[in-house]
Structure 1
Amino acid sequence: MAVRRSSHAVYELEYHFVWAIKYRKKVFNTREMKTKVEEIFREIAAQYDLTIEEIKAMSDHVHLLVSAPPRFSPARIANILKSVSMRLIFRQYSKLKKLHFWGGELWVGGYCVKSSGHDLTTVQIQHYIQTQDQPVLL
């Protein structure tokens, strides 16, 4: 992760977000759909001056590593990404809403967020996200 600049700040802020699909329904069940969901998040991030360093859409949740200017709180980032992605995903996959989410919400209300820092590096977070769909070897 590189140090970034805006007109009034120099920053290096990265957040690892995880949020689940409502009712933990496994609806992102094809590679094509997961790829489209990841593209949607990248498009949203670009519109809001956010950078998605890493992303992995799983069947029932999403992992994102996001770099953001200091004007965005983690709560604001989650709000933007969750609300806009829900609208765009429902627009792209209208049957999802009719079959599974007739209440109108795709994501659970909460989320998990961690910042990278001294004990948890960006490289460790990226590796964790990249290996989410690989089997655990015991």
Structure 2
Amino acid sequence: MLYDLDKASHSVYSLHYHFVQCVKYRRKVLDNQNIVDFLKMKIRQISDTFEVDIVNIECDKDHFHLLFTTKPTLNLPKYINTIKTITSREIRKNYPGIKTMLWKDTFWSRSYFIATTGQVTLDVLKQYVDNQGKHATDEEDQNTSN
């Protein structure tokens, strides 16, 4: 199984995430390309400060998807909360008309979706791990027969 791996002084890793954030009450406020471009720019700036590599960002009218890779040292909740806080504040500040479409002063929903993604499917990985036990048993059998 071949992976595209990253390395640090004491670790080798491959961490990929899929993050989805919805606008509060699924309000369709991301239908303006200027707002979408601004949101993407802000997420990229925040990600740079957290040493997060963005694979892709795409928006629908009421949510965005962010694919990213990172180091094992990332404080994931802090990163996500920083994205939510800064983008909410900056979008409302730079696009004041958007406030009429929102509920009170809240931009993002409190909840979000995040999943780890991999370079192989979970089924392939499970099969690989299952086979590790078989290889160890095969090696033990060979050692006892010698």
Assess same fold via TM > 0.5: yes
Runs of 4+ in 1 over 6 A off after TM superposition: none
Cα gap change, 1:91/1:119 in structure 2, threshold over 3 Å: closer, same or farther? same
Output one character per residue of 1:37-78: Cα deviation in whole Å (capped at 9) or x when no partner.
Answer: 111111111122111111002110000001121122443332
After the TM superposition, which of the residue ranges 54-63 and 30-39 deviates more from structure 2? 30-39
State the aligned residue count: 119
Q: 1 CA distance for matches of 2:73 and 2:104?
A: 32
Q: Answer 1 or 2: which has greater strand percent.
A: 2
Instruction: Give the TM-score normalised by structure 2.
Output: 0.70
- Structure 2 unaligned regions, length at least 5: 123-146
- Counterpart-to-counterpart distance in 2, 1:10 and 1:90: 40
- Which residue of the partner structure matches residue 126 of structure 1? none
Q: TM-score, normalised by structure 1?
A: 0.74
1:53 aligns with 2:46: no
Aligned to 1:90: 92
Q: Name the counterpart of 2:106.
A: 105
Does the residue aligned with 2:108 lie in a helix, a strand or coil? Answer: coil
Specify the code of the residue in structure 2 equivalent to 1:101.
L
* Secondary structure of 2:30's aligned partner: coil
| Structure 2 CA distance for aligned equivalents of residues 63 and 25 of structure 1 | 16
Structure 1 portions without partners, runs of 5+ = 121-138
Instruction: State, as a whole percentage, how many aligned pairs show the same letter.
Output: 29
CA RMSD of aligned residues (A): 2.2
- Structure 1 CA distance for aligned equivalents of residues 64 and 97 of structure 2: 20
Matched, 1:116 2:117: yes
Q: Distance in 2 between matches of 1:80 and 1:4?
A: 24
